[in-house]
Amino acid sequence: QLRLVESGGTSVESGGSLEISCEVFGAPLGRFCMGWFRQAPGKEREGVAALIRENRARFSESVEGRFTISQSNAKGSLYLRMNDLKPEDTAMYFCAAAENIRGSCSGSLRQYDYYDWGQGTQVTVSS
């Protein structure tokens, strides 16, 4: 059974940077299409970043140019590097996985395209 464990969330000041991680247990990371989502209090979960392949990714408009996503199959981990953080980036961040059954990933930012989820890691940005 696949298990996703996020880590690295903390409180940072506006304009700061942070990298959060998601470690995948139970199966090789390379078998999955991976994405990052976030949910702020009182708001719906939204897609932030998703990998299409090693050097291509899709980002939401709100984070384009500030966030990068990467993964290490050797370490079984997914990463989200966040730069120039803003108070509106405050949220619980989740990683999500969907088995790559078609041999390619679409980079979907729709939560319904993913089937396995971690418990989340909290990122708080103060102004």
Q: State mean pLDDT over 77-96.
A: 98
| Percentage of the chain lying above the pLDDT 70 cut | 100
pLDDT of amino acid 99: 93
pLDDT of amino acid 26: 95
The two structure tokens encoding residue 111: 């939560």
Q: Which residues contact 98 (CB under 8 A, 6 or more apart)?
A: 32, 33, 108, 113, 114, 115, 116
